[in-house]
Amino acid sequence: MQPEHLARLSQPVRDFVRQVEQDSGVDIEVVPDARLNGAGPRGHGNLEVDIEPHRNRLFAPTDGYFPDGGVRHEVLHVRRFHVDGVPKLALADAEDWDGNFSKALGRFDNAIEHVVIVPIELQHHPERREHWEAVMQNVCAGLSDVPEDERRLAICTHWTFLRHVLPGSPQTEIARTFAARHELLEAADRFADQFLAVATSKEEIVRLFAGTFPEVPWSRAALEYLHGAAGNRQTPIAPR
């Protein structure tokens, strides 16, 4: 990370960034992006990270938004893929390019990763709870707009996050009421328990999703591992 951006961070986050860069062998480049000004759940700004085998770019607003907790969050994503060897969901190489499906897989992969990453973020930066409460407030406000054929997947995913990451959140009752109205609460509770049981393995998490939600075209997706100079490696997804 460039020195001028490191200087804006607290020493513990600075040390964390340097450690991830050292362990991964790939620098994290901060890229100013005015598109992110005023973004985020409260309109204060947002950060985004683009993780590739040979390059990591952290996109940041140009209006000064660069919080310790937000930076740690994005660098945790980098550590997961580059250091821990965790795979990410991606469009299978054998498939014709489909930008919309690829983006949908990216958003879904992000949701899975957040169940693992955000508790670590909150452990170091408890003030970030306000940010995630705002995120889930927006999510719960939009539940009624989720298409019927995607409702079960959405409820199970968001309920898992609320139960394991934000226990006691005011949004829990909103999600509970919505799930119960659509007779999905029991399924969501069962899925959250199953997720927790395999949370240490991304491969098992994805297999759990594939076995629980066969309506998703998993054959078009793959688990992709980043391997630096060796390039990416993909493996097919087999349901549990």
Task: Give the CB-side neighbour count of residue 16, counting CA atoms within 13 A.
Answer: 20
Domain boundaries, the chain: 1-84, 92-220
Q: By three-state DSSP, how is residue 48 classified?
A: strand
Spatial CA neighbour of 26 closest among 48, 46, 6, 54: 54
pLDDT tens column, 110-150: 999 999 999 999 999 999 999 999 999 999 999 999 999 99
The one-character DSSP state at 239 is -
The rounded distance, in Å, linking the Cα atoms of 186 and 180 is 8
Q: What is the pLDDT of residue 229?
A: 57
Q: Tell me the C-alpha distance between 90 and 120, whole Å.
A: 24
How far apart are alpha carbons 11 and 17 in whole angstroms? 10
177-186 per-position pLDDT tens digit? 999 999 999 9
What integer pLDDT is reported at residue 239 of this predicted model?
A: 82
Model confidence, pTM:
0.94
Model pLDDT for residues 201-236, shown as the tens digit of each residue: 999 999 999 999 999 999 999 999 997 656 689 999
Helix ranges, the chain (H): 3-6, 11-24, 68-78, 99-124, 129-141, 151-165, 171-181, 185-197, 202-212
Strand partners, 56: 28, 51
Per-residue pLDDT tens digits for 26-42: 999 999 999 999 999 99
Q: pLDDT value at position 240? A: 75
User: 36: helix, coil or strand?
Assistant: helix
The token duo for 47 is 């950060």
